[in-house]
Chain A
């Protein structure tokens, strides 16, 4: 069934891996647009903040393109935001990767470097376990693909937990803001379906609210 819902808006800030995400959305038959500035940005639809890169470089690129402000406004107004990998970290209060640099602050906590007792980056498929999983989030895949050196510690906003030397937030949720540390678009067919279903459910929820 096709609904005329607002498109998914993938934010492009020059350092993110857009093709893999866009490919996954396409395979899930989701209508998505890629935008690299605040101008010509649709005023509705879930904002997807992808992530590969350095916390500070990503923030600077987002600020430069006016997208940081778009995200801040979205968090305040309740427009859905989905952060992936570094996207989740940018939604937190900050990161040890860029000391003193403020994050978007949607999620409580500062991202910390994974412990030296394990291989860093944490790279590969790890199992995740549900914590405070909001009802709009579909069942997660058993294995999620992770590639990261920093992670948000577990808080009461943690939706999924994974372990790599230490328990960390594999996903966080607060209001309409959701962040996932792993890459569902690279977690096999199951992960791709999860991402598609998540975005469809968020869109339906928005429609029901408007």
Chain B
């Protein structure tokens, strides 16, 4: 048999606030982008490989009743999806999995409670535990972990935290550059290269603006590349992006 590699995944991210998909720049200036179920259906048809939903209001404003839209999305989709935002206990993970999420992303709570990733991985398996890391470049060039929707700096550096997260059982790292988020200037390849040596897959997030940017992130070792408004606003077609990446020698799932 051909030693086929796993296809590099193209992921659309939907930031959800109060049940609506929104997108801002550097975590601020949110713009309405539509209904999560409608967007999910569209992406499935267009051939995206996976979806990530982040309830960006949840961490600061408390846990919301997400079960309804998660369930509606699960019924629509024939591809996997991750849900995150305000996940702080194994019960949150259980509820999201039961509502139909394939994976659950944990961000701030994993920093505050270092045992959380381990606990969730032991109950539900590493493969559904995604450690979401929001990273920002310090003036000295180090990349620092921020929590609480990017509002609070921590004493952790992204590469050390990613390593620790994987050692504790995270099955995937969702690495978002706060500097690049929404700017379309390209992924923070420097930060990405610090994290991709971990043994788990890494999703590059924040800054996608062109097809070349996706290719650059895959070359830097990302297993998956994520974008939001670029897809929501139809600036990039999924099929055209995949054809481009295939021509560049990347393995992608083609229709």
Contact = CB atoms under 8 A, between A and B. Distances in A.
Contacts of A52: 97, 102, 124-125, 127-128
B contact face: mostly helix, strand, loop, or mixed = loop
Interface string B125-141: 11110000000000000
A145 interface: yes
Contact of A188 (B79, B103, B200): B79
Interface stretch (A69-77, A101-109, A124-132): A124-132
A164 B1 CA distance: 12
Give the interface size bracket for A toward B.
35 or more
A23 B77 contact: yes
Contact of B127 (A19, A27, A148): A148
A18 B4 CA distance: 30
Interface string A1-21: 000000000000011011110
A86 B102 CA distance: 13
Interface of B: 1-9, 44, 47, 49, 71, 74-80, 94, 97-103, 121-128, 171-172, 199-201, 223-224, 253
Interface of A: 14-15, 17-20, 23-24, 26-27, 52-54, 57, 86, 116, 119-127, 129, 143, 145-149, 161-164, 167, 183, 185-189, 191-192
Nearest to B129: A121
A38 B6 CA distance: 38
Contacts of A162: 4
Contacts of B126: 121, 149
B172 to A, nearest CB: 6
Given A54-B121, A163-B4, A189-B78, 4 more contacts: A19-B99, A86-B125, A147-B102, A186-B78
B78 A147 contact: no
Contacts of A121: 126-127, 171-172, 200-201
Contacts of B71: 19
B1 A122 contact: no
Contact of A19 (B7, B75, B123, B201): B75
Contacts of A54: 121-125
A128 B3 CA distance: 11
A164 to B, nearest CB: 6
5 contacts: A17-B101, A17-B128, A20-B102, A127-B2, A188-B78
Given A124-B7, A124-B224, A191-B78, A15 B199 contact: no
Contacts of A186: 77-80, 102
Contacts of B99: 19
A123 B6 CA distance: 8
Contact of B223 (A17, A23, A119, A145): A119
A20 B171 contact: no
Nearest to A129: B1
A24 B4 contact: no
Contacts of B80: 20, 145, 147, 183, 186
A47 B201 CA distance: 33
Contact of B98 (A19, A125, A187): A19
Closest 7 CB pairs of A and B: A19-B100, A23-B75, A147-B127, A125-B253, A124-B6, A125-B7, A186-B80
Contacts of A188: 44, 47, 78-79, 253
Given A124-B201, A143-B7, A17 B127 contact: no
A181 B101 CA distance: 18
Nearest to B130: A123
A17 B97 contact: yes
B6 A164 contact: yes
Nearest to A24: B78
B127 A187 contact: no
B200 A119 contact: yes
B98 A123 contact: no
A135 B87 CA distance: 45
Contacts of A26: 75
A126 B2 CA distance: 11
A146 B80 CA distance: 10
A101 to B, nearest CB: 14
Contact of B74 (A20, A123, A126): A20
Nearest to B45: A189
Nearest to A12: B98
A5 B178 CA distance: 54
